[in-house]
Amino acid sequence: MNYFPEEVIEHVFNFIASHRDRNSISLVCKSWHKIERFCRKKVFIGNCYAINPERLIRRFPCLKSLTLKGKPHFADFNLVPYEWGGFVHPWIEALSSSHVGLEELRLKRMVVTDESLDLLSRSFPNFKSLVLVSCEGFTTDGLASIASNCRHLRELDLQENEIDDHRGQWLNCFPDSCTTLTSLNFACLKGETNVAALERLVARSPNLKTLKLNRAVPLDALARLMSCAPQLVDLGVGSYENEPDPESFRKLMAAIQKCSSLRSLSGFLEAAPLCLPAFYPVCQNLISLNLSYAAEIRGNHLIKLIQLCKRLQRLWILDSIGDKGLVVVAATCKELQELRVFPSDLHGEEDNNNAAVTEVGLVAISAGCPKLHSILYFCKQMTNAALITVAKNCPNFIRFRLCILEPHKPDHITSQSLDEGFGAIVQACKGLRRLSVSGLLNDQVFLYIGMYAEELEMLSIAFAGETDKGMLYVLNGCKKLRKLEIRDSPFGNAALLADVHKYETMRSLWMSSCEVTLGGCKRLAQNSPRLNVEIINESESNRMERNEEDERDKVDKLYLYRTVVGTRKDAPPYVRIL
């Protein structure tokens, strides 16, 4: 029963932005469901196969912004074959032939083609914002379409996509009348950039706040760009190698000094550390610093820079910073909330890599940065004692991802498993929403996770556990679990099949190189009409020839997810949907 006219309720709803809250509102009663759906502007779809575009458009005809995620997370690590799926084209086609006035499209891990981008650019006159993260399948020709046709484009943000760079003149395709850009990020483009076109574009974009350049933009161009855009808030530096001549350096310094609004710095894709001092004047204002691609910035240059960044809230760095460097971070960056330490050496080739990080750095950070709530830490070794200390120092973690580079590596001092250490983390951090575990782990850690991690939504497990009990503890205990991804762990059918209904409360489950068999997956699929159970067996060309399949055969990769639209039709031949 409504005590207010619909318009009033709708007005109130418009203050609610979070899609979770919106989802909750829509479940209150039929009338609220109806009001809510007509005023929802932003829709978030965490799995593009859970729903189809037609139903989306039917339910939310007034949508302006759509976020879609395609491939499962482990696709980032080459575990999902190319062409598995996640094609955006059907979505754009459907939206294009509807009356939806799309203004914003945000895609993650999807396959995007030039054709899709072209259709997108021509179908929505008010289109303002395109954000592509970890996508693939398109070239700079697609970008040219967007630039040419989207008259009101404000944001073009390309993050870590694999883009075929045709070295065309896509930057030239922005018409002279385009002056509305607020954000331009093309750091992931590998080819040359038409610097002159870029300069003209930046000069006529007075609202530009974010500019992230690619490798091809050299030092002197950077200085000119920054002089045209002193209002920049977020800058991604392209490259400057070799020592700059004094004149170029002076110009750069002068330009940077005018950028009093600069708060975020990234890039330095190819950087001679001697150019860093030009940035010293803005360091005191920085809240975000991403040097995770700047392999050349290390040692004293790096330390000096960090010591100036007293207001830093977010730091992404390479492990070449070393424990010593992290101690400096801990002493300097008291406002730090998020830290990511990436590995600079992926294959363990540089054995005497003194500069890598260990538990010492992690403990230092936890002790020095009271506001830390999010961490991604790649390291060579860890101890239970360190993790227990970290848990005591930082009970506020919402994201805790620890990756010990060597699988199954125990506590390097006691040689025990790391169950107790991670156990301490989940017990202390009551708000933990995301957890990645690594190192030598038995079932015990999962008992702890099931018992204590009440808010846990996403759990990543690799090379861990002993028996099915491990997985069961998690499935039974973590009531808010949405995404579970497991690789190379000894969990099998008993765990998989124990509570089939659990998976309908989750977005997805991934299991690869585990002990589940074809028979187990088939049984699971039989009892779950609202789940898509996909088996990915790429190397099974010989198996295709065999007509009888052995239900006892282990499954390489299992990916299951809840859906209201049944089996998808676009799966490649090596994906079998049960």
Partner 1 sequence: MEKVGDYDELVNLKATELRLGLPGTEETVSCGKSNKRALPDDDTEKEIESTGKTETASPPKAQIVGWPPVRSYRRNSIQTKKNESEGQGNYVKVSMDGAPYLRKIDLTVYKKYPELMKSLENMFKFSVGEYFEREGYKGSDFVPTYEDKDGDWMLVGDVPWEMFVSSCKRLRIMKGSEVKGLGCGV
How far is Cα 156 from Cα 159, in angstroms, rounded to an integer? 10
In angstroms, give the least distance from the CB of 470 to partner 1: 19
The footprint of partner 1 on this chain (CB under 8 A) covers a number of residues equal to 35
Residues 347/371, Cβ–Cβ less than 8 Å: no
Q: Which of 558, 474, 480, 545 is nearest to 519 (CA)?
A: 558
Nearer to partner 1, 240 or 491 (CB): 240
Which ranges of 272-399 would DSSP assign to H, the alpha helix?
280-283, 299-307, 322-332, 359-368, 384-393
CB of 391 to partner 1, least distance (A): 23
For residue 503, what are the CA distances in angstroms to 44, 500, 521?
20, 6, 13
For the chain, first and last CA: distance in Å?
44
- Residue 527 to residue 496: CA distance in whole angstroms: 12
Q: Pick the closer one to partner 1 by CB: 265 or 405.
A: 405
Min dist CB 9 to partner 1, Å, is 43
Say whether residue 241 binds partner 1 (CB under 8 A): yes
Euclidean distance between CA atoms 476 and 451, whole angstroms: 9
Site string for partner 1, 64-93 (x = CB under 8 A): ----------x-xxxx--------------
Considering only 148, 161, 214, 444, the residue that binds partner 1 (CB under 8 A) is 161
Closest approach of partner 1 to the CB of residue 188, in Å: 7
Q: Cβ closer to partner 1: 292 or 537?
A: 292
Rounded CA separation 380/386 (Å) = 14
The 3 state secondary structure assigned to 480-540 is CCCEEEEECCCCEHHHHHCCHHHHHHCCEEEEECCECEHHHHHHHHHCCCCEEEEEECCCC
Judge contact between 28 and 68, C-beta under 8 A: no
Which two structure tokens, joined as six digits, stand for 402? Answer: 């620890």
Stretch that binds partner 1, among 169-177, 402-410, 447-455, 540-548 (CB under 8 A): 402-410
Burial code (b: 16+ CB inside 10 Å, e: under 16) for 109-121 equals: bbbbbbbbbbbbb
User: Which is closer to partner 1, CB of 378 or CB of 561?
Assistant: 378
Task: Select the residue interacting with partner 1 from 146, 369, 462, 521 (CB under 8 A).
Answer: 462
Question: Quick one: which of 460, 463, 456, 458 has its CA closest to 427?
Answer: 456
CA 566, CA 344: separation in Å to the nearest integer? 43
Indicate which single residue of 344, 366, 383, 489 sits in contact with partner 1 (rule: CB under 8 A).
344
- 37 close to 59: Cβ distance less than 8 angstroms: yes
Shortest Å distance, C-beta 32 to partner 1: 40
Q: How far is the CB of 192 from partner 1 (least distance, A)?
A: 9
Residue from 487, 507, 523, 562 in contact with partner 1 (CB under 8 A)? 487
Q: Binding partner 1 by CB under 8 A: which of 173, 387, 403, 475?
A: 403
Applying CB under 8 A, does 243 fall inside the site for partner 1?
Answer: no
- Whichever of 326 and 403 has its CB closer to partner 1, that residue is 403
Site mask for partner 1 (CB under 8 A), range 364-383, x = bound: --------------x-----
Q: How far is residue 491's CA from residue 469's CA, in Å, rounded to a whole number?
A: 8
Report the C-alpha gap between 372 and 395 in whole angstroms. 9
CA within 13 Å, CB half, 399 = 10
118 forms beta bridges with: none
Residue with tokens 């250490």: 421
Determine if 233 is a binding residue for partner 1 (CB under 8 A): no
Closer residue to partner 1, CB minimum distance, 3 or 77: 77
Residue 3: half-sphere exposure toward Cβ, Cα within 13 Å? 0
Q: How far is the CB of 351 from partner 1 (least distance, A)?
A: 5
Site string for partner 1, 492-521 (x = CB under 8 A): ------------------------------
Q: How far is the CB of 70 from partner 1 (least distance, A)?
A: 15
Q: 276 near 248, Cβ under 8 Å?
A: no
Nearest distance from residue 43's CB to partner 1, in Å?
A: 26
Under rule CB under 8 A, which residues in 280-309 are in contact with partner 1?
292-293, 295-296
By C-beta, is 232 or 536 nearer to partner 1? Answer: 536
Shortest Å distance, C-beta 98 to partner 1? 33
Which residue stretch of 2-10, 24-32, 98-106, 160-168 sits at the interface with partner 1 (rule: CB under 8 A)? 160-168
Rule CB under 8 A: choose which of 5, 177, 300, 349 binds partner 1: 349
Question: If binding is defined by CB under 8 A, does position 528 make contact with partner 1?
Answer: no
Q: Which string of x and - marks every residue 120-159 that binds partner 1 (by CB under 8 A)? A: --------------x-------------------------
Which stretches of the chain bind partner 1, using CB under 8 A?
Answer: 74, 76-79, 134, 160-162, 188, 218, 241-242, 292-293, 295-296, 342-344, 346-351, 378, 403, 405, 407, 436, 460, 462, 487-488
